[in-house]
């Protein structure tokens, strides 16, 4: 799950537009909201699952020699950042209760489980100088239990939790992290590659880099506006490319796995059908999703992104652009480093043109310069930025198809609903949210022809929502964080999602389909 960290403002340069945008009268989007739910079955072979992150569920923060992560560091050095010490020290205790979680997954009938490996649990100081066998064994056992229950492991290598020892060397601001991550990734391939066929290198790098090293809103909380995020992203993308090519050259022939990177987006819909608003929304999408998707698909940042940051940097009197440049060799290495497209989605915003951000505004938001907002009459949740916008899901995956192609398949790797986590009768809130978002995704499959291959709900369990602790949650199972054994109890949404994944149908009865997912 992610934080909402970017607010932007403006439009000038024209951009090439895909056919994804669906507009009504200027400023009105009421026609896009609908309670209608499709009765078409999802395609045969559709990957249904849940997603989680190590820090949010595992606990055992120093168990069996695990090293300190940047989030562990925050919890212990800045306890005032967390509500009532609601941190990941114990979390859901999944480190000790993996078998319980696998049994819940089996009960739910899912065929996939996306989880992350904690880098410092495997390599306590982040390097091969100190390999934790107990850490390796924990994930071996989890993967084995999943496979025994016919649940495919979908493994994320990095879900925000840098080893603190690596962060002390500069983290993603230091290009030495490329080699450290390369070594870590190869250890994972050697250790788990025979059983893991679906890999993700990085989860939500926009948040890792924008929140961690630019805006400073998430760990490691480095504030370097308009510079840090771009440096972080550049090193992260280079690390992703090297790991992809290493797997391609050394392991793919025998292990036959797939590798991807996860992008996240609050879909930006044009605020009106004016050319200026359409261009503004497109630029916002390209400079957020495209920041990472463009390099792995095409080998470089979007042209509009390069043009704007280069131009603004020059006007700011800088001798070189704040956006680093890939060498020709790096562009070649990056291009095509994905075997499927992954996107995390929760909400949507409207994008409107406005005056150019002042040239003194050195920030990612200033570089994008688009006014992004949500109308007051959109359906609210407990979190200010999170409103229920089901049609945005359809528009987003359609845009991904139009912009990057879908021949390798598109997977929704996170989607879920915010509340306090204590609402057990959540069929008409969380259950409805999944139903409406999935109905729009189903429309994208059958009406728009998008090759959508899977959907991972966030989340199986109430968990530690980073600095929000468990005051905000998305789980289908309530977790009693006051009990020693972290008792799990199903909510109504768990039963509804079980019905969906076991029948491929969102309603009581569906029209069958011969459509199958396509994997390149």
Distance (Å) of CA 391 to CA 23, 35, 171: 12, 11, 38
On whether residue 243 sits in a domain, the answer given is yes
pLDDT at 505: 98
- With beta carbons less than 8 A apart as the criterion, state whether 199 and 218 touch: no
Among 139, 172, 173, CA closest to 156: 139
- Segment holding 138, helix H or strand E: helix 133-148
β-strands 379-380, 387-388: how paired? antiparallel
Among 223, 201, 195, 192, CA closest to 210: 223
| CA–CA distance, 344 with 416 (Å, rounded to integer) | 10
Among 502, 350, 346, CA closest to 434: 346
Per DSSP, the residues of 341-375 read: EEEEEEEEEEEE--SPPPTT--SHHHHH--EEE--
- With beta carbons less than 8 A apart as the criterion, state whether 2 and 266 touch: no
pLDDT at 16: 47
pLDDT at 28: 59
**CATH code for the domain in which residue 350 is found:** 3.20.20.80
Among 254, 105, 265, CA closest to 189: 254
| Residue 43: partners with Cβ closer than 8 Å, 6 or more residues away | 445, 504, 513, 515, 516, 517
pLDDT at 21: 62
| Sign (positive or negative) of CA dihedral 149, 152, 157, 160 | negative
β-strands 452-457, 47-51: how paired? parallel
| CA–CA distance, 484 with 507 (Å, rounded to integer) | 38
Number of domain units in the chain? 1
On whether residue 40 sits in a domain, the answer given is yes
| CA–CA distance, 76 with 229 (Å, rounded to integer) | 25
On whether residue 336 sits in a domain, the answer given is yes
At 245, is the secondary structure helix, strand, or coil?
helix
| Residue 401: partners with Cβ closer than 8 Å, 6 or more residues away | 410, 448, 449, 450, 451
Query: 69 has which bridge partners?
Result: 163
On whether residue 19 sits in a domain, the answer given is no
| CA–CA distance, 34 with 445 (Å, rounded to integer) | 17
At 416, is the secondary structure helix, strand, or coil?
coil
**Helix, strand counts (H, E) of the chain:** 19, 13
Among 367, 381, 371, 509, CA closest to 41: 509
| Cis preceding-peptide flag for 415 (omega within 30 of 0) | no
Give all strands (DSSP E) within 52-128, no chain letters: 112-116
| CA–CA distance, 424 with 478 (Å, rounded to integer) | 7
On whether residue 207 sits in a domain, the answer given is yes
Q: CA 160 from chain center: how many Å?
A: 11
| Sign (positive or negative) of CA dihedral 32, 207, 201, 124 | negative
Structure tokens at 472: 């905000």
pLDDT along the chain (520 residues), means of 10: 39 44 57 96 98 98 98 98 96 98 98 99 98 98 98 99 98 98 99 98 98 97 98 99 99 98 97 96 98 98 98 98 98 98 98 98 98 96 96 98 98 98 97 98 98 98 98 98 97 98 98 93
- With beta carbons less than 8 A apart as the criterion, state whether 88 and 479 touch: no
Cβ count near 83 (within 10 Å) = 13
Catalytic residues: 204, 414
Distance between start and end Cα atoms, the chain: 28
Structure tokens at 238: 């280079």
Its domain, for residue 333, covers: 30-503
| Sign (positive or negative) of CA dihedral 375, 381, 386, 390 | negative
- With beta carbons less than 8 A apart as the criterion, state whether 358 and 281 touch: no
On whether residue 57 sits in a domain, the answer given is yes
| CA–CA distance, 478 with 461 (Å, rounded to integer) | 6
């Amino acid at each position: 799950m992610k934080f909402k960290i970017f607010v932007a403002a403006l439009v000038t340069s024209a951009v090439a537009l895909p056919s994804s945008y669906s507009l009504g009268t200027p400023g009105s989007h009421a026609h896009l909201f609908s309670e209608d739910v499709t009765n078409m079955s999802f395609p045969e072979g559709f990957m249904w699952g849940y997603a989680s992150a190590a820090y949010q569920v595992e606990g055992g923060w120093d168990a069996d020699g695990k090293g300190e992560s940047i989030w562990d560091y925050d919890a212990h050095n800045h306890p005032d950042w967390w509500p009532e010490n609601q941190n990941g020290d114990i979390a859901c205790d999944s480190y000790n209760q993996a078998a319980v979680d696998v049994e819940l997954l089996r009960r739910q009938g899912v065929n996939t489980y996306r989880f992350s490996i904690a880098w410092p649990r495997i390599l306590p100081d982040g390097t091969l100088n100190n390999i934790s066998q107990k850490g390796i064994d924990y994930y071996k056992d989890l993967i084995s239990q999943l496979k025994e229950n016919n649940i495919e492991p979908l493994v994320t290598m990095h879900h925000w939790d840098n080893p603190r020892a690596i962060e002390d060397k500069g983290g993603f601001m230091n290009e030495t992290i490329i080699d450290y991550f390369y070594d870590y990734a190869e250890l994972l391939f050697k250790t788990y590659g025979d059983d893991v066929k679906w890999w993700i290198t990085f989860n939500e790098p926009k948040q890792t880099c924008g929140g961690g090293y630019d805006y400073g809103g998430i760990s490691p909380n480095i504030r370097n506006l308009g510079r840090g995020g771009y440096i972080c992203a550049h090193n992260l993308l280079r690390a992703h490319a090297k790991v992809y090519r290493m797997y391609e050259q050394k392991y793919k022939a025998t292990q036959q796995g797939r590798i991807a990177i996860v992008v996240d987006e609050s879909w930006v819909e044009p605020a009106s059908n004016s050319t200026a608003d359409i261009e503004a929304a497109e630029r916002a999408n390209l400079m957020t999703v495209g920041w990472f998707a463009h390099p792995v698909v095409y080998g470089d940042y979007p042209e509009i992104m390069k043009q704007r940051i280069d131009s603004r940097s020059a006007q700011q009197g800088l001798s070189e652009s704040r956006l680093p440049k890939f060498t020709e060799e790096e562009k070649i290495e990056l291009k095509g480093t994905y075997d499927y497209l992954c996107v995390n989605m929760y909400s949507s915003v409207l994008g409107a043109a406005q005056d150019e951000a002042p040239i003194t505004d050195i920030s990612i938001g200033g570089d994008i310069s688009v006014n992004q907002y949500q109308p007051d009459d959109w359906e609210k949740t407990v979190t200010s930025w999170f409103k229920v916008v089901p049609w945005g899901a359809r528009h987003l995956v359609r845009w991904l198809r139009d912009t990057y192609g879908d021949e390798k398949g598109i997977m929704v790797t996170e989607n879920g609903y915010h509340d306090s986590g204590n609402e057990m009768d959540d069929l008409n809130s969380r259950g409805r949210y999944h139903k409406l978002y999935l109905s729009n995704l189903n429309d994208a499959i059958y009406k728009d022809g998008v090759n959508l291959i899977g959907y991972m709900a966030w989340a199986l369990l109430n968990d530690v929502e980073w600095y929000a602790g468990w005051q905000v949650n998305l789980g289908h199972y309530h977790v009693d964080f006051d009990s020693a054994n972290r008792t799990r109890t199903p909510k109504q949404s768990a039963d509804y999602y079980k019905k969906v994944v076991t029948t491929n149908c969102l309603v009581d009865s569906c029209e069958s389909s011969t459509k199958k997912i396509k994997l390149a």
